[in-house]
Structure 1
């Protein structure tokens, strides 16, 4: 199942028309058609918006699978009151794709938090 198939599933399961979905997320119907035909894929920002709109994870939207929590390891070494700061830990030990994923996830969390708080 492709990203487009999962988006189409979400649209149908939420009782939306494709047109209403496109209007809500400011996507042209032409772009949606290109996604369906495999001519293009949604941008990272649009994937974040779609995942937040339907309240699904980016993992599920991209792969169809949820990421399974791993047993606690080094994370337990951090103090209970530790707060991750934006950009922290994005050092040379991480692959470029890993850095990009973390930055996208931070943007997703901020977007969802802003959306849920009414934009305040």
Structure 2
């Protein structure tokens, strides 16, 4: 499976779901499923999250094809370690981190 659409199709077929049933589970229109499976459109962050939760697959796997199960994901850093990394970053890196998190926050807010 080389594409995100192929992985979405794989999940749907593995679970023996129609496009309508799959769409209902992840809260999207049925017409969107074919477009997602054929890589005609990209899913929103919210849709990726819904698929991940509904079928216990990692978002990483959906996007890259690696780390299939969410159970295989390892939290690499504690909150304290993350704070230390940011505190020790250069001003330029801090600015990048700030911009990244604001864009990430906006992405989830818009969906």
TM range (shorter): 0.5 to 0.7
Give the number of equivalent residue pairs: 94
**1:94 equivalent among 77, 97, 106:** 97
- 1:28 corresponds to which residue? 29
- 2:51 corresponds to which residue? 50
Alignment of 1:12-91 (within 5 A): 12-66=13-67, 75=77, 89=86, 91=94
Distance change >3 Å, CA 96–CA 66, structure 1 → 2: farther
Q: Deviations over 1:67-101 (max 9, x none)?
A: 9989x8xx5xx7xx95979xxx5x4253855x379
TM-score, structure 1 as length reference: 0.57
Deviation for aligned residue 1:39: 2.5
TM-score, structure 2 as length reference: 0.61
Q: Distance in 2 between matches of 1:55 and 1:100?
A: 27
Task: Give the number of the structure whose residues are more often helix, by fraction.
Answer: 2
Which runs of 5 or more structure 2 residues have no equivalent in the other structure? 87-93
Deviation for aligned residue 1:22: 0.9
Q: Distance in 2 between matches of 1:5 and 1:84?
A: 34
Distance change >3 Å, CA 10–CA 63, structure 1 → 2: same
